[in-house]
């Protein structure tokens, strides 16, 4: 800017000598400018005849002194050698100022002189460093404010007034303004304000400029406040204040009292003194009030010393007090809260309020450092704001709200109770029509409230400071309720007011949502526990600035019970000595200093309900009167006078305001009733009259107002507020941490959700939709982060209604309708956004969400594999293994036999129908709108990410996951035998698929889900009598769960595998239909998890399933494959599953399904398992102690016995190949037991239960069945006989030691005898005739060789010897001589005769032993 460059040039003269030429140039430029201004003034002066000639003084003609001074200045300016800032500015300003002061100059001349001064001021030549700058600035202000000129025409007068304003503003904006004194600043403002009033009778332009200048002045002055030093220029406290008050009021410097003119205006000429106009017309009446307003003790002016100092706080206090006085003037002139005369009543207060607002904006927090300013705001300003806040003028109300918002920002620590009063008595009254406010007032109040709500900490601070203080009203709760109610459109369309209230509500919840993540969520806040009652006045806070102290303090105080006003009144009026003592102590807490009697009585009776009994009323009023007389005796003679008058006021109050009293007391009646009560004398009539009218106009409420809501601010309430504000707790300033948000949100959540929902329901524009959605998401975030599950459920339930998905579909094309409904689409996306983001805290809401999902599924709108298991992506491209692809709602691949609903054919299929051109059934081409609707629908579903709810369910909290699973089971419905419709079954299948998906995704928490999942699948399995998609999904889902979870949950293996027993409970028709696929899944299960199945219970289930397949044509191969996997090489054979697998193998061996080769392989598996028994025996010997080895040996022996018993059964098979292979396998198992420790008793059992039984059964078959049924039984019998002989000989040494050997030997002999005599197909077998004697001979020879079969001479005879030959003779008589040739045959015959009698008992005993 030019003036900055000029200043730079001036400084350069001092600092840079080499740039003297530039400096000289700038110096000359300034001189030229001033010279031109001199010329301009002189030129205008010469136009006037008075200045054009010469004045005669004696014989000489002299020029006027004004012209001489200007010409003298012109001569000097070019000859000054000093730098400009070293030249006294008074030298070049004085001639111009004289012209301005002169009453001889006309308006044009004065105007030009003012312009010249303005130009010089704006050159920035004058600053703090200029010589005599202070005197110069004072000179300018004095001259301009004392301006005199002749008024020639109204236009020229307005020009001069505008230029006066211009110069005064330039003075305040110049760098030298800091040198102005407090007095001169007050004078400047006073002058401007007088011009403002004078402008009321002038043109519009002057009015606007005058008001604008006043604003700029106030802004300049109060912008200086933060820079004022607190110790030097602020209000001087302590002794200075006392001295000033003791010295009295010096009115010379009181604002508005200093006269503007410097002398009396002569009446002989037409000159018009500036102040003459200001004191005319309306200004005269106003000025008197302004000057006198607030002249009591609160407005003690500063002394001369302070007023002559450089300007600072003193002038600001005077100016601010003056601005507040303007509001008082408006009130004194008849301003009322219900007045609607907008001419004066709106203009003056609005102007004053706008100036006050500017002062507060620029003074900011600095105001709190200056007690005098702060006191003005706390008392005078706020009292007026409370009054004008109820104005009928929306402009005034709006300005009042703006001021309060600024005060909240900058000074909220100092105006805690004032804010409470403003919201209770102004905002909450105006914003509701039931208090008589106009729509415009309501709208302005609501706008103001929304502005407050947009301040992030406002609601938190209201809650902490007011709601949590038992002595204050619940401002936060009331404001939140007001916003919620105001957003409800009741029997009317949505209006801007509803949207405004909604904005406020959402601003509050979004503020809470933003604070989340800043630390200290609800989980860190312990719940408030009030184990015993603590009086609220005893609960203290050590540090109001430390959240660790004030947060628990206010939370406890919020939940502390208050006092009931009715009970307090009854207690205080009680005659009990203690109650009377409390009453007097209570009355002593009131400060009635300088209060009128009715005001004090109102204040006293507002704190409790006055009891109804006359004696109690008297006791209460006695305590009040005593306290009042003690503090404010005034004209009362004694406390009895106070008591009688108080009683009289209560009676007057009842008389005037009770509707049942028809004849009201008159003023004369009241005065007459109160004669001679003041110590025997009368009270002044004016005093009683004032009391009478006060009570008549304003009722003393002795009963708490029922539903009265928010009271008006009365003088008594204001006095009470000012007293309380001195004692109230410090204001708690909140930061961005969510300390109290949970408690606050719990209060407002219900109405908030309802309000947003109603607006969303009634809204018709996208921007309103989006606002509501933002609110919903904020509510969801807060609910989730503060663990308010019920609130989140309510929100989800409410939102689901707007998706339109839960409505019964009556439209023909619901997909198109959905695509055209923006509200429904936005609600749908929001529901699923909440489900994905905050699913941890959804409980009952899952049911509604699932209802929406099911509806989308029925409409064919869900993407493929919504319920896919994210942990197994490989299945995405393959079938499940049992021949049926997974449910895909975009295709119609459910069970075709059931009849899939048409709607489930998928969106793409239906969409393609629209595009197809079918000649048989012509269809119209889809319109662009239909195509767009389809596209929007697809995009909406894509945005929902519905699949993520299930694939990401592993991250859900346990309770939420459990509720989701229960909701799926609930949505699927309880299966009914044969009664379900295809659509119901499709739903059940889909729900089951989702249930299985979340089960698989939560394998680490399977315990949580398993019981419910199992019971649901069990219900399906047991209620299904025919094959269908549902049982298909249930059975194979169960198998899939087992497959996937066994590797991870070995502790649950038994539980999981036991569940597979459900498959065994399938209806026969169902089981037959799915047997092959089930077996394939079991096969997979075994191969993948055999090493994870440890218990006998688990293996029993597996082998049971495998055994069933042995006789199923399609399933047997897969079943045997699984069994082969277990038994081959003994890799997965365990003591726990050995017997079970052997039994299963036996069933496969016996099965005639398939080739005999498989039966042979099954036998090989059985016989090969002997190696495992041997291995286990060795392992037990190496790793265990003797006792455990013995136990293991016993267990292994029993397993071996079960093995050979199983083989014995297969030995009876009808097929020759299988039968003979079973015998060979049995032989292997009987002889290959070297590594197995078998007890002697086991061998006896083996002969008895296996070998002998097998021989008997085979013989029976050979003799009882035809060759056609059992081919080549001869060979089988031969093999069986060889097994008997071989095993007997192998074990002979061991068996011969047993006491029962004789019986065993007789059993062998009897079988040989039977086989020798056996007839196969009606004739004896030649091969057996040859084999049996040979085997017997070998046996006898071995027994002879080992000394087992020898003749012993003993008392009683030798039974073994005799019995042996008794049987041998029946088989082969010649063997006797061949084996024992040395024995005499006669002797043998003799022994034979003797033993005949004992043969039968021995056989019977042997049979019994079996």
Q: What is the largest CA-CA distance in the chain?
A: 211
User: Which candidate, 1287, 1142, 1286, 1276, places its Cα nearest to that of 1215?
Assistant: 1276
Write the CA distances from 144 to 89, 198, 311, integer angstroms: 16, 16, 19
Classify burial at 820, counting beta carbons within 10 Å of its beta carbon; exposed 0-12, middle 13-18, buried 19 or more. Answer: middle
Annotate 1325-1355 with DSSP letters as a single string. Answer: -HHHHHHHHHHHHHHHHHHHHTTSS-----T
- The burial of 1099, by beta-carbon neighbours within 10 Å (0-12 exposed, 13-18 middle, 19 or more buried), is given as buried
Within a 10 A sphere around the Cβ of 917, how many other Cβ atoms? Answer: 7
Q: b/e map of 1251-1271 (b: 16 or more CB within 10 Å)?
A: bbbbbeebbebbeeeeeeebe
Q: Please, how many CA atoms are within 13 Å of residue 1103, restricted to the half-sphere of its CB? A: 25
Contacts of residue 579, Cβ cutoff 8 Å, sequence gap at least 6 = 571, 572, 573
> Which ranges constitute the DSSP H helices of 859-927?
907-915
Note if 380 is an active site residue: no
Q: Cα–Cα distance between 346 and 1377 in angstroms, integer?
A: 152
Distance CA 1058, CA 1010 (A): 12
What's the sign of the alpha-carbon dihedral 968, 969, 974, 975? positive
The token pair that represents 1057 in the structure block? 């595998």
Q: CA 979 from chain center: how many Å?
A: 44
Are 1028 and 982 contacting, i.e. CB atoms less than 8 angstroms apart?
no
Q: At what angle do helices 1186-1210 and 1216-1231 cross, to 10 degrees?
A: 160
Handedness of CA 1277, 1279, 1282, 1284 (dihedral sign): negative
Q: How many CB atoms are closer than 10 A to CB 75?
A: 8
What sign does the CA torsion over 390, 394, 396, 397 have?
Answer: positive
Give the C-alpha separation, 226 to 95, whole Å.
Answer: 37
- Kindly report the number of other CB atoms within 10 A of residue 909's CB atom: 14
Q: Which DSSP state fits 82?
A: S
CB within 8 A of 960, min separation 6: which ones?
839, 840, 841, 842, 843, 846
| Element spanning 1096, H or E | helix 1096-1109
Quote helix, strand, coil % in the chain, to nearest 5. Answer: 70, 0, 30
Which residues lie closer than 8 Å to 1378 by C-beta, 6 or more apart?
1337
- The bridge status of strand 1319-1320 relative to strand 1323-1324 is antiparallel
Residue whose C-alpha is closest to residue 627's, from 582, 596, 586, 598 = 586
Per annotation, catalytic residue among 252, 585, 613, 667: 613
Within 199-301, residue ranges assigned H as helices are 204-223, 239-247, 274-278, 281-292
Q: Helical H runs in 1134-1272? A: 1138-1150, 1156-1168, 1170-1183, 1186-1210, 1216-1231, 1240-1245, 1252-1264
Distance CA 484, CA 499 (A): 11
Residue 1323 belongs to what H/E stretch? Answer: strand 1323-1324
**Catalytic annotation, residues:** 613
């Amino acid at each position: 800017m030019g003036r900055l460059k000029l200043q730079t040039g001036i400084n350069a003269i001092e600092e840079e000598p080499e740039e003297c030429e530039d400096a000289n140039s700038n110096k000359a430029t300034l001189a030229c400018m001033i010279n031109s201004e001199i010329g301009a003034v002189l030129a205008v002066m010469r136009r006037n005849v008075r200045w054009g000639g010469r004045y005669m003084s004696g014989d000489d003609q002299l020029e006027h002194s004004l012209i001489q001074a200007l010409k003298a200045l012109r001569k000097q300016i070019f000859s000054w050698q000093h730098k400009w800032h070293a030249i006294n500015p008074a030298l070049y300003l004085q001639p111009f100022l004289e012209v301005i002061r002169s009453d001889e100059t006309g308006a044009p001349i004065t105007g030009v002189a003012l312009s010249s001064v303005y130009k010089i001021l704006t050159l920035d030549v004058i600053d703090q460093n200029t010589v005599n700058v202070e005197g110069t600035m004072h000179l300018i202000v004095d001259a301009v404010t004392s301006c005199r000129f002749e008024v020639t025409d109204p236009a020229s007068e307005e020009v001069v007034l505008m230029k006066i304003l211009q110069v005064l503003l330039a003075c305040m904006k110049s760098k030298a303004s800091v040198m102005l004194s407090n007095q001169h600043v007050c004078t400047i403002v006073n002058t401007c304000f007088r011009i403002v009033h004078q402008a009321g009778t002038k043109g519009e332009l002057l009015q606007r400029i005058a008001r604008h200048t006043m604003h700029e002045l106030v802004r300049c002055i109060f912008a200086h406040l933060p820079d004022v030093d607190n110790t030097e220029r602020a209000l001087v406290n302590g002794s200075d204040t006392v001295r000033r008050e003791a010295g009295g009021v010096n009115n010379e410097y009181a604002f508005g009292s200093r006269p503007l003119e410097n002398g009396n205006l002569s009446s002989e000429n037409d000159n018009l003194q500036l102040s003459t106009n200001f004191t005319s017309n309306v200004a005269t009446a106003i000025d008197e009030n302004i000057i006198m307003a607030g002249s009591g003790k609160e407005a003690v002016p500063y002394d001369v010393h302070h007023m002559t100092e450089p300007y600072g706080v003193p002038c600001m206090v005077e100016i601010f007090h003056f601005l507040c006085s303007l509001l008082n003037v408006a009130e004194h002139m008849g301003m009322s809260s219900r007045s609607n005369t907008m001419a004066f009543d709106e203009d003056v207060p609005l102007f004053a309020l706008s100036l006050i607002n500017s002062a507060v904006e620029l003074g900011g927090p600095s105001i709190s450092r200056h007690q005098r300013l702060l006191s003005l705001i706390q008392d005078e300003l706020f009292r007026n704001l409370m009054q004008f806040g109820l104005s009928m003028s929306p402009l005034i109300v709006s300005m009042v709200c703006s001021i309060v918002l600024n005060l909240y920002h900058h000074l909220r620590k100092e105006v805690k109770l004032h804010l409470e009063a403003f919201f209770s008595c102004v905002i909450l009254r105006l914003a509701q029509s039931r208090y008589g406010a106009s729509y415009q007032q309501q709208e302005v109040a609501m706008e103001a409230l929304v502005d407050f709500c947009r301040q992030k900490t406002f609601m938190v601070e209201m809650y902490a400071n007011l709601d949590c203080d038992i002595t204050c009203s619940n401002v936060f709760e009331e404001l939140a309720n007001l916003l919620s109610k105001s957003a409800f459109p009741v029997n009317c369309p949505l209006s801007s007011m509803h949207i405004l209230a909604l904005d406020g509500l959402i601003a509050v919840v979004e503020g809470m949502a933003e604070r989340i993540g800043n630390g200290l969520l609800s989980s860190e806040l312990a719940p408030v526990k009030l184990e015993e009652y603590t009086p609220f006045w005893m609960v203290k806070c050590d540090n109001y600035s430390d959240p660790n102290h004030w947060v628990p303090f206010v939370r406890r105080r919020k939940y502390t019970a208050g006092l009931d006003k009715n009970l307090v009144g009854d207690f205080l009026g009680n005659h009990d000595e203690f109650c009377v003592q409390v009453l007097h102590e209570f009355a002593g807490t009131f400060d009635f200093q300088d209060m009128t009697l009715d005001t004090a009585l109102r204040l006293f009776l507002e704190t409790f309900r006055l009891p109804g009994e006359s004696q109690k009323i008297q006791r209460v009023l006695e305590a009040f009167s005593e306290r009042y007389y003690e503090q404010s005796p005034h004209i009362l003679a004694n406390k009895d006078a106070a008591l009688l008058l108080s009683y009289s006021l209560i009676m007057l109050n009842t008389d005037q305001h009770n509707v049942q009293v028809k004849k009201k007391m008159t003023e004369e009646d009241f005065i007459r009733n109160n004669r001679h009560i003041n110590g025997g004398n009368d009270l002044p009539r004016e005093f009683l009259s004032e009391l009478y009218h006060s009570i008549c106009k304003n009722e003393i409420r002795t009963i708490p107002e029922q539903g009265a809501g928010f009271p008006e601010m009365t003088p008594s309430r204001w006095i009470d507020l000012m007293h309380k504000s001195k004692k109230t707790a410090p204001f708690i300033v909140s930061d961005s941490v969510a300390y109290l948000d949970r408690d606050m949100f719990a209060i407002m959540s219900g109405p908030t959700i309802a309000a947003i929902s109603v607006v969303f329901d009634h809204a018709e524009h996208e921007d309103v939709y989006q606002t509501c959605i933002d609110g919903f998401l904020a509510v969801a975030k807060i609910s989730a982060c503060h663990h308010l599950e019920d609130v989140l459920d309510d929100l989800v339930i409410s939102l689901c209604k707007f998706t339109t998905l839960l409505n019964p579909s009556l439209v023909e094309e619901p997909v198109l309708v959905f695509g055209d409904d923006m509200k429904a689409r936005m609600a749908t996306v929001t529901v699923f956004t909440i489900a994905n983001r905050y699913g941890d805290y959804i409980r009952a809401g899952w049911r509604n969400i699932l209802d929406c999902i099911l509806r989308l599924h029925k409409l064919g709108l869900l993407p493929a594999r919504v319920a896919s298991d994210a942990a197994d992506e490989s299945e995405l491209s393959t079938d499940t293994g049992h021949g049926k692809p997974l449910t895909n709602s975009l295709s119609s691949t459910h069970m075709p036999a059931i009849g899939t609903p048409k709607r489930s054919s998928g969106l793409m299929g239906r969409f393609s129908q629209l595009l197809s051109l079918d000649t048989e059934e012509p269809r119209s081409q889809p319109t662009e709108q239909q195509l767009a609707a389809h596209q929007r629908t697809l995009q909406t579903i894509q945005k929902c990410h519905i699949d993520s709810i299930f694939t990401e369910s592993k991250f859900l909290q346990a309770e939420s996951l459990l509720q989701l699973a229960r909701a799926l089971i609930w949505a699927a419905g309880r299966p009914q035998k044969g009664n379900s419709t295809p659509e119901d079954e499709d739903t059940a299948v889909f729900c089951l698929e989702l249930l299985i998906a979340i089960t698989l995704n939560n394998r680490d928490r399977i315990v949580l889900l398993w019981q419910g999942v199992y019971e649901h699948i069990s219900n399906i399995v047991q209620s299904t009598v025919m094959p269908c998609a549902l049982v298909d999904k249930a059975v194979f889902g169960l198998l899939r769960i087992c497959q996937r979870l066994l590797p991870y949950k070995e502790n649950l293996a038994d539980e999981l595998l036991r569940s597979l027993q459900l498959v065994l409970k399938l209806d026969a028709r169902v089981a037959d239909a799915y047997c092959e696929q089930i077996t394939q899944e079991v096969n997979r299960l075994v191969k993948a998890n055999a090493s994870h199945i440890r218990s006998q219970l688990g293996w029993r289930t597996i082998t049971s399933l495998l055994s069933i397949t042995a006789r199923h044509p399609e399933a047997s191969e897969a079943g045997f494959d699984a069994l082969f996997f277990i038994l081959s090489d003994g890799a997965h054979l365990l003591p726990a599953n050995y017997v079970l697998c052997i039994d299963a193998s036996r069933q496969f061996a016996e099965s005639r399904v398939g080739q005999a080769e498989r039966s042979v392989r099954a036998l090989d598996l059985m016989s090969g398992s002997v190696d495992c028994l041997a291995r286990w025996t060795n392992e037990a010997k190496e790793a265990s102690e003797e006792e455990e080895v013995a136990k293991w040996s016993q267990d292994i022996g029993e397993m071996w016995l079960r093995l050979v018993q199983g083989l014995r059964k297969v030995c009876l098979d009808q097929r020759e190949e299988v039968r003979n292979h079973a015998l060979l396998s049995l032989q292997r198992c009987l002889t290959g037991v070297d590594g197995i420790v078998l007890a002697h008793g086991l061998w006896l059992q083996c002969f008895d239960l296996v070998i002998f039984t097998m021989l008997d059964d085979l013989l029976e078959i050979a003799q009882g069945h035809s060759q056609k049924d059992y081919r080549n039984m001869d060979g089988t019998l031969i093999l069986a006989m060889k097994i008997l002989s071989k095993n007997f000989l192998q074990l002979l040494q061991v068996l011969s030691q047993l006491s029962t050997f004789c019986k065993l030997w007789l059993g062998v002999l009897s079988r040989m005898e039977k086989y020798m005599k056996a007839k196969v197909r009606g004739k004896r077998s030649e091969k057996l005739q040859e084999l049996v004697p040979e085997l017997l001979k070998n046996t006898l020879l071995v027994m002879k060789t080992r000394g087992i079969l020898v003749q012993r001479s003993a008392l009683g005879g030798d039974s073994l010897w005799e019995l042996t030959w008794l049987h041998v003779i029946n088989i082969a008589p010649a063997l006797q001589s061949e084996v024992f040739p040395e024995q005499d045959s006669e002797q043998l015959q003799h022994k034979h005769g003797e033993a005949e009698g004992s043969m039968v008992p021995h056989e019977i005993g042997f049979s019994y032993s079996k």
